[in-house]
Amino acid sequence: MSNRRGSPYSTHVAGELNEARPYAAWTGSDRIGNRVLSTLTVILKTGGCSWNRCRMCSYRHVRLGAAGEGELARLLLAQVSWLKDRFPMDNIDCVKIYTSGSFFDPVEVPGAARDAIGSLVRGKIVIAETRPEFVVTDRVASFREIIDDGSHDLPLYVAIGLETSNDFIREKCINKGFSWDDFLLASKAARSAGAGVKTYLLAKPPFLTERESIEDVVSSINALRGIADMISLNPCSVQKGTELEYYWKRGEFRPPYLWSILSILLRAERHILCDPLSGGRTRGAHNCGTCDRTILQGIRDYSLSGDRGLLEALLGMDCTCKKEWEFVLENERPYCMPLTR
Ligand code: SF4
Ligand SMILES: [Zn+2]
């Protein structure tokens, strides 16, 4: 799962304590292709992420302690009927499905539950998040067949938390456990299954300077040309109970400046989705506290409208913290790990 949650346009229903409900579900709007569509976002409670090791991730702690496949399927089917009762599908164009790991991992989401979810969202554009190793052509194709009623050219997108196109950064800074080549293979498998590809990139993982991270995201966006149909930028936030939180508490990590996020979005040659989690707070992408609200709203507006003029106007704004950001870009030095003991 990537670093993503919530929206200012949403109505939010959280169900953390009740296993018969998803972890959260809300309606909102998203730009998909060149259109703004009404969306339902669902975070299902599942068996949990099989990788379970990324340095910044707390979602991996959300898992049902179900005994076996049958019990897990039963709990997931209960979440499907909860959704059916509360969210009439007539007004929804697109459903985004997250788990606390990978929707296409059969251990995390048993096939029977996956099929039931597919029947519920038939006729919608579906975006389902997964790690690349679970993008198996037959599995994805059979899900696509369930949801596809002929309404959309591309009814399904697999969404992969690539984080960066740089294998070294993905391994050392994030501990993600897969490579660029694994991602490429998964993208090919998705295409063979008749699905598109959405990719999440992470701005400012631990151990990178502000400038290094900006350059990393920009080069990742370029590397995804012709591969990803959609890119979503996630500014790294400090989640509870993570290794990243440990560094942050010791003053060894600062989430990215909102100035950096603006400059990445403006340098990108294509539209990038972005809705900073915990934006404006010390645990999320933030500036000085005075200009945060305006910039965050602008980033969210841009995410929907694609209006680059808005980004230019925001980046042209002045605030005392802009000088601070420029100083950081010039003077921050990389995290230095000794090579010997
Ligand atoms: S793959 Fe990593 S980021 Fe995704 S849920 Fe698992 S531990 Fe978290
Ligand atoms: Zn400011």
- Which domains occur in the chain, in start order? 11-331 (3.20.20.70)
DSSP state, 66?
A: -
Q: How far apart are CA 77 and CA 89, in angstroms?
A: 17
Short-list 88, 14, 5, 7, CA closest to 45: 14
Choosing from 5, 46, 53, 103 the residue with most ligand 1 atoms within 8 A of its CB, the one to mutate for a pocket test is 53
Supply the pLDDT for residue 335. Answer: 73
Q: State the angle between helix axes of 111-120 and 69-86 in degrees (0 to 180), rounded to the nearest 10.
A: 10
Choosing from 131, 162, 236 the residue with most ligand 1 atoms within 8 A of its CB, the one to mutate for a pocket test is 131
Q: How far apart are CA 163 and CA 173, in angstroms?
A: 10
Supply the pLDDT for residue 67. Answer: 65
Diameter over CA atoms, the chain: 62
Supply the pLDDT for residue 20. Answer: 85
- Nearest Cα residue to atom 7 of ligand 1: 52
Q: What is the mean pLDDT of each run of 10 residues along the chain (341 residues)?
A: 43 52 94 94 94 93 79 93 94 95 96 96 98 98 98 97 98 97 98 98 97 98 98 98 96 97 98 96 98 98 97 97 98 83 82
Q: How far is the CA of 297 from the centre of ligand 2 (A)?
A: 14
Supply the pLDDT for residue 68. Answer: 82
